[in-house]
Amino acid sequence: MELHLVIHDYAPQPPVNTFVDLTSLPPGSIGWMHQAFNNPDGKNWDGVVQAADVIVDVRDVAELHSRALYTEEAGGERFILTGNLFHWQDAWDALNIEPKLPGAPVGTPGAGKRVKHRLQYSNKKSKETFGFEYRSSEETIRDSWAEFLKRGWIESIKV
């Protein structure tokens, strides 16, 4: 499943920027989350899922794309849109914060905090240019898990 951002021509005023390059690093997909949520022990994950070390909420990416169209300072600039450093154990820990979400894997609580991340990304420029605060990893993971449950996408749990 791919999601595409469509900007309609009924904006209240013309955008200030004709070109803004926004990049989300590393590119992610709902497929990664589906694979991790349905195989929380990490067995049979492909290398991309295993290597995931940052997370950004798609709602934040959409909001920043929209803001870029109306923020003059963004014209001709490049931005890294990334939330927080991340390890899958952090996801399982987030799901087990009260109130715990149904079927949440446990793993080894706290182990994600001890992981050395291979790369560091800075979202300082996007935060300052757009006056923006990214959602927390916990909010992104909990909201995603709840949505997956609602849609019946977590194969081991039928709600």
Q: What are the residues facing 80 on neighbouring strands?
A: 23
Is this structure's pTM higher than 0.85?
no
Write out pLDDT tens, residues 120-151: 789 999 999 999 999 999 999 999 999 999 99
Residue 40, preceding bond cis, omega within 30 degrees? no
Average pLDDT of the residues in 9-14 = 43
| Spatial separation of the C-alpha atoms in residues 144 and 34, rounded to whole Å | 10
> Residue 79 above 80 pLDDT?
yes
**Structure confidence at residue 7 (pLDDT):** 39
Write out pLDDT tens, residues 81-113: 888 888 888 889 999 999 998 888 988 898 888
**Structure confidence at residue 138 (pLDDT):** 92
Q: Which residues contact 145 (CB under 8 A, 6 or more apart)?
A: 37, 95, 101, 104, 154
> Residue 58 above 70 pLDDT?
yes
**β strands within the chain, DSSP E:** 21-23, 54-55, 78-80, 84-85
Q: Which of 6-10, 40-44, 68-72 has the lowest mean pLDDT?
A: 6-10
Q: What amino acid is encoded at 98 in this protein?
A: E
**Structure confidence at residue 28 (pLDDT):** 57
| Mean pLDDT computed over every residue of the chain | 78
**Structure confidence at residue 51 (pLDDT):** 62
> Residue 24 above 90 pLDDT?
no
Average pLDDT of the residues in 8-36 = 53
**Structure confidence at residue 36 (pLDDT):** 81
Packing angle, helices 30-38 and 137-151, rounded to 10: 80
| Spatial separation of the C-alpha atoms in residues 78 and 29, rounded to whole Å | 21
**Structure confidence at residue 29 (pLDDT):** 64
